[in-house]
């Protein structure tokens, strides 16, 4: 039995796990760097090589259980992939009291999972950490393109964007007013975390494109952009979101295969595990 991070089998069953992990190795619409379909494999390999004690929280999150809930392999079209992720997420959300997590793949994989989570949970906030707005209504003939990752979420839910530093002029009309925290403004605002927290409430879905981070610490993404988020401030934001809100699901996407993928893969593995630590600490408080 292959388990997340090589954890014992007794911590990896559906019955004994508080966390469900779905992988989506899809890279059908990326427009520059290719290789995001290898992201889940790289993430899982890195996870097996990290220490499972979290120093900050003094916990071992894996003891709460992580169930590998399967892979969505549909890739015949962007729309078919979105529907498959949507159906898989709906199926997983029937397991009450468990946190749904997803690892991509390119950012288009989030469209279906956000759709399903939004149908189950009212008053949903979608917190997007990203270098790009991803607010195109369609791109290259598809509404399920990675450049459209949160267009639907913005229409249906409370979208809060953090770390954005690249967009097309047509997207500016869709940027949620007062809820997009541009990277250049974060760089000069010591209170940016509190400002973000003021916009995030209730049930929360967190979607993290790894290009939100500065390429100096996360170089292996499809479209790295200079001027990104740093590690510890990002963790502080996430910890406070978990403390304040009811995080019902999260995803991490856009880990790309490359000759230099290991540092980014390990960052992704640690990021995922830190988020589990924050989730379980809230659960026990």
Q: What is the pLDDT of residues 9-29, one digit of tens each?
A: 999 999 999 999 999 999 987
Q: Which residues contact 121 (CB under 8 A, 6 or more apart)?
A: 203, 205, 248
| pLDDT at 283 > cutoff 90 | no
| pLDDT at 192 > cutoff 70 | yes
Torsion of CA 248, 110, 210, 52, to 10 degrees: 40
Token pair of 266 as six digits = 């390990």
Sorting pLDDT into bands at 50, 70 and 90, what band is 176?
very high
Q: Decide which of 285 and 273 is more confident.
A: 273
| pLDDT at 151 > cutoff 90 | yes
Q: Which residues contact 130 (CB under 8 A, 6 or more apart)?
A: 107, 161, 162, 163, 164, 207, 208, 209, 211, 212
Torsion of CA 248, 224, 75, 70, to 10 degrees: -40
Q: What is the pLDDT of residues 34-70, one digit of tens each?
A: 889 999 999 999 999 999 999 999 999 999 999 999 9
What is the mean pLDDT of the segment spanning 230-257?
98
| pLDDT at 74 > cutoff 90 | yes
Q: What is the pLDDT of residues 241-250, one digit of tens each?
A: 999 999 999 9
Percentage of the chain exceeding pLDDT 70: 98
Sorting pLDDT into bands at 50, 70 and 90, what band is 213?
very high
Q: How much is the pLDDT for 29?
A: 76
Sign of the CA dihedral with 48 first, then 51, 53, and 55 last = negative
What is the mean pLDDT of the segment spanning 137-147?
92
């Amino acid at each position: 039995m292959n388990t997340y991070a090589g954890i014992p089998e007794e911590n990896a069953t559906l019955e004994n796990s508080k966390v469900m992990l779905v992988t989506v190795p899809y890279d059908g619409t990326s427009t520059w760097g290719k290789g995001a379909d290898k992201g889940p494999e790289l993430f899982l390999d890195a996870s097996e090589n990290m220490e499972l004690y979290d120093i900050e929280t003094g916990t071992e999150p894996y003891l709460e259980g992580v169930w590998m809930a399967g892979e969505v392999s549909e890739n015949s079209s962007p729309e078919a992939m979105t529907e498959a992720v949507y159906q898989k997420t709906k199926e997983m959300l029937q397991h009450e009291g468990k946190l749904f997590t997803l690892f991509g793949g390119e950012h288009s994989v989030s469209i279906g999972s956000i759709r399903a989570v939004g149908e189950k949970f009212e008053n949903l906030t979608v917190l997007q950490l990203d270098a790009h707005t991803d607010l195109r209504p369609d791109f290259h003939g598809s509404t399920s393109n990675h450049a459209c990752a949160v267009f639907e979420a913005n229409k249906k839910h409370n979208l809060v964007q953090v770390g954005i530093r690249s967009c097309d002029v047509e997207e500016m009309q869709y940027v949620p007013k007062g809820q997009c925290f541009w990277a250049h403004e974060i760089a000069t605002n010591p209170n940016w975390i509190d400002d973000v927290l003021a916009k995030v409430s209730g049930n929360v879905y967190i979607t993290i494109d790894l290009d939100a981070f500065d390429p100096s610490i996360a170089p292996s993404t499809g479209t790295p952009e200079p001027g990104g988020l740093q590690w510890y401030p990002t963790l502080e934001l996430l910890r406070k979101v978990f403390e304040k809100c009811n995080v019902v699901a999260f995803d991490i996407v856009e880990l790309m295969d490359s000759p230099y993928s290991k540092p980014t893969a390990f960052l992704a593995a640690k990021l995922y595990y830190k988020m589990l630590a924050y989730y379980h600490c809230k659960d026990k408080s």
